[in-house]
Amino acid sequence: MATPMLRWCCPGRRWIFAGIGGGSRHGRGVPTGSTSSGKKGQSSVAQQPLITAQKPRKGEREWAAVVGLEIHAQIASNSKLFSGSQVDFAAPPNSLVSFFDASLPGTLPVLNRRCVEAAVMTGLALDCHINRKSLFDRKHYFYADLPAGYQITQQRLPIAVNGSLAYSVCVGKRWSQMVTRTVGVKQIQLEQDSGKSLHDNLRSQTLIDLNRAGVGLLEVVLEPDMSCGEEAAAAVRELQLILQALGTSQANMAEGQLRVDANISVHHPGEPLGVRTEVKNLNSARFLAKAIDYEIQRQISELENGGKILNETRSFDYKLGCTVPMRDKEGKQDYRFMPEPNLPPLLLYDSGSLPTGADPQQVIDIDQLRERLPELPRVTREKLVRQYGMLPEHSFALLNEVGLLEFFQNVIKETRAEPKKVTSWVLNTFLGFLKQQNLAVSESPVTPSALAELLDLLDRKAISSSAAKQVFEELWRSKGKTPAQMVAEKKLELMQDAEALEQLCRSMLEAHPQVVTDVKKGNPRAINKLIGLVRRATLGRADPTVIKEVLERQLSS
């Protein structure tokens, strides 16, 4: 492998594809260096490291990091996984709790069909094998927010196994180089969420709210195919987009609908894998990569100083920016897994195996679900690239912001301007304004129609691009006027009178013989002065490129 020897890869970097550089992109294909270690499990050097951090000092050996993830996504359903109480984020404490959720004696679990469908759809989207038979188990541990003393999960035989998730990361110094990577999906299982604990340290007590207890979760286990925080964050981001596109989870990390635990270890390439630690509850998209990279660096430092890594559980302290050991995990947890005695095996069917005369409500047909799968983000992006000739990183940017793709498509519908122009305006100007004022697309003061109209004016060469930017700013600030009205008001229309322009240029040349001599002597920048003068004379209503053309033509004659 012709990789420069490096300390370890991936200095932490934001994975959001912000700020596409405008202007001249020379047509260049995207290097799809897809280094997939697929489902081989842990390989000694998992991936081609991304960025050279620093050259190792003499005598030092390089390190490779191995990162696996366990992601819990709350299923978007009306009721819980095994009971008929409501799933809702904000409600009075303990108001969305049934007798079963509170683990009162005599209650039994009843499986929610919607949750099973969500699991199958997610499995299909991640190219998993869907197990026609899967089983439920009890995982025992004591905690106040787990009233039953066990969680119903799928330990022996989960609903989906052996899939893969493709995601993209930026390599190199420029945002524009993107590479596709793949991480294996070990399994997807259905399980219950626990309640919430609110620690009241003042009164030395813990308040328990069981509203969340029993809510359906999809646990997605990603193989340790990732090698740094950036890759992990990109994989999580793509999973988030997939879940949102499928509608199986809103996957909002801030609201706790998507939680990530990371398993991290380091080793020297070629040597066996190191001891791993588990970093729990990485619940912020922003800090995910940071936390993982911190832990990797901590392990490297520890080992280089002759220390040892303990197989322990840690959590990320957001304030201090470091991982700390978690309380109360004396030795290994023994969950005493046992089959859930109240639930028969979950059987799924396909079109070939559907039992005849069965109640459709009681039967789940995998093929039917596959047919109804919504378009996945990967496919949407490919279509955008094909249809509009945009660069892959543009398609990522469009899908990365809620509502942005729709906005873009609405503008395209109403304007005659070229797609490339629209892409540039939406991703640079429009998105730039949104970000500056921290607004969502839905809160934009500029509508797709307004932007479309503006781009039409630009396309017709009725205004110059600098005038267009001015108008856009105006549109953003004040409502009620159309672009055309603004252009008229501010007299921003381009001079359409070619003859008048010729005249103006000629007179300008006559008035500045010294500059003319400079240009003729071969100073190419001298002409800019003339262009500036003409522009001012036209009150900014002539396109600088056109002025330049005219002047150059006149000078050479």
Partner 1 sequence: MWTRAVWLGLRAAAGGRRGFTSKADPQGSRQVTAELIEHLERLALVDFSSQEAVARLEKAIAFADRLRAMDTDGVEPKESVLEDRCLYLSSDNVVEGNCAEELLQNSHRGVEEYFVASPGNISWPKLDEKEPFSHH
Q: Which residues bind partner 1 (CB under 8 A)?
A: 77-79, 83-86, 92-100, 102, 104, 110-116, 135, 140, 142-144, 197-201, 204-210, 327-328, 334, 336, 339, 341-347, 361-362, 364
Cβ-based nearer residue to partner 1, 86 or 263: 86
Q: Supply the minimum distance, in Å, between the C-beta of residue 98 and partner 1.
A: 4
Task: Give the bridge partners for 262, in sequence order.
Answer: 69, 279
Q: Supply the minimum distance, in Å, between the C-beta of residue 360 and partner 1.
A: 11
Three-class SS string for 203-271? CCEEEEEHHHCCCEEEEEEEEEEECCHHHHHHHHHHHHHHHHHHCCCCCCCCCCCEEEEEEEEEECCCC
- Distances in Å between the Cα of 125 and the Cα atoms of 111, 165, 220, 302 are 22, 9, 12, 40
Structure tokens at 411: 């503008």
Q: Supply the minimum distance, in Å, between the C-beta of residue 262 and partner 1.
A: 23
Q: Supply the minimum distance, in Å, between the C-beta of residue 144 and partner 1.
A: 3
Q: Supply the minimum distance, in Å, between the C-beta of residue 329 and partner 1.
A: 10
Question: How many other β-carbons are positioned within 10 Å of the β-carbon of residue 376?
Answer: 17
Cβ-based nearer residue to partner 1, 205 or 496: 205
Cβ-based nearer residue to partner 1, 346 or 399: 346
Listed in sequence order, the residues at least 6 apart from 75 whose beta carbon sits closer than 8 Å to its beta carbon are: 81, 87, 114, 115, 118, 119, 215, 216, 217, 218, 248, 249
Q: Supply the minimum distance, in Å, between the C-beta of residue 365 and partner 1.
A: 12
User: Rounded distance, CA 496 to CA 411, Å?
Assistant: 27
Determine phi and psi for 405, rounding to 5 degrees: -60, -45
Spatial contact of 474 and 487, defined as CB atoms under 8 Å apart: no
Q: Supply the minimum distance, in Å, between the C-beta of residue 359 and partner 1.
A: 9
The CA angle 222-227-228, to the nearest 5 degrees, is 100
Cβ-based nearer residue to partner 1, 79 or 424: 79
User: Rounded distance, CA 75 to CA 118, Å?
Assistant: 7
Q: Supply the minimum distance, in Å, between the C-beta of residue 343 and partner 1.
A: 6
Spatial contact of 195 and 147, defined as CB atoms under 8 Å apart: yes
Cβ-based nearer residue to partner 1, 300 or 354: 354
Q: Supply the minimum distance, in Å, between the C-beta of residue 478 and partner 1.
A: 46
- Of the candidates 85, 87, 84, 90, the one whose C-alpha atom is nearest the C-alpha of residue 75 is 87
User: Rounded distance, CA 197 to CA 205, Å?
Assistant: 10
Cβ-based nearer residue to partner 1, 114 or 529: 114
- Distances in Å between the Cα of 239 and the Cα atoms of 70, 71, 251, 325, 379 are 12, 9, 9, 28, 14
Spatial contact of 59 and 182, defined as CB atoms under 8 Å apart: no
Burial of 355 per CB tally in 10 Å (0-12, 13-18, 19+): exposed
Q: Supply the minimum distance, in Å, between the C-beta of residue 205 and partner 1.
A: 5
Cβ-based nearer residue to partner 1, 42 or 86: 86
Cβ-based nearer residue to partner 1, 112 or 423: 112
Cβ-based nearer residue to partner 1, 209 or 231: 209
Cβ-based nearer residue to partner 1, 81 or 504: 81
Structure tokens at 215: 């809510």
Cβ-based nearer residue to partner 1, 36 or 197: 197
Question: How many other β-carbons are positioned within 10 Å of the β-carbon of residue 429?
Answer: 19
Q: Supply the minimum distance, in Å, between the C-beta of residue 160 and partner 1.
A: 17
